[in-house]
Amino acid sequence: MVEQRCLFCGGDPTEPNHWEYCDGRQGGRDDPAPGYPVDAGWTEPTTSREAAATVDASGLRFEVMTCLTSHGAMTADECAHWLDQSVLTIRPRFSELRALGVIEDTGERHMNTSGRRAAVWKLCGQVVGGLHDGR
């Protein structure tokens, strides 16, 4: 039997609750990029990999966590607006933070400028480094 992988996240689409963690925006991969989610991910071995190597993913993740601490739960696009960054720079940081167990989906949805509904994210109860303690 051939194993089917999700075209969006590369996960198993038959897993229970798959669509709760798959945001439908990541490129499909048979295996995660080496170092992901600590390092920026990539889905294509040339230009995508080169772009990932130029991203300060750790610094940007910290900025995202600070924004969530200061302004509360929000979509990746709302966070990009607060940080005055491109959504193309910030959305992947949300995927990385989700994979690291730092943020979680609130179940709420807000409309993006594209007119599509987007998940609203919040920091999990205890974030390493004391940035947020869940109170």
What is the mean pLDDT, run by run of 10 residues, along the chain of 135 residues? 61 68 51 54 58 73 94 96 93 89 94 91 70 44
Residue 7 lies in a domain: no
Residue 4 lies in a domain: no
Question: What is the CATH classification number for the domain harbouring 69?
Answer: 1.10.10.10
Range of the domain at 104: 56-123
9 within some domain: no
- The reply to whether 75 falls in a domain is yes
The residue ranges of DSSP E strands in the chain, in sequence order, are 103-111, 117-123
Give the C-alpha separation, 133 to 94, whole Å: 19
Token pair for 44 = 């294509």
pTM of this prediction? 0.62
Total domains present in the chain: 1
Assess if residue 86 is contained within a domain.
yes
Residue 94 located in a structural domain: yes
Query: What's the CA gap between 37 and 99, in Å, rounded?
Result: 6
Residue 117: inside a domain: yes
What is the sign of the dihedral through the CA atoms of 70, 75, 80 and 82? Answer: negative
Give pLDDT, residue 70.
Answer: 94
Domain for residue 88, yes or no?
yes
pLDDT for residue 125: 77
pLDDT of residue 100: 86
What is the DSSP secondary structure assignment for residue 74, as one 8-state letter?
Answer: B
Q: What is the pLDDT of residue 8?
A: 60
| Structure confidence at residue 132 (pLDDT) | 47
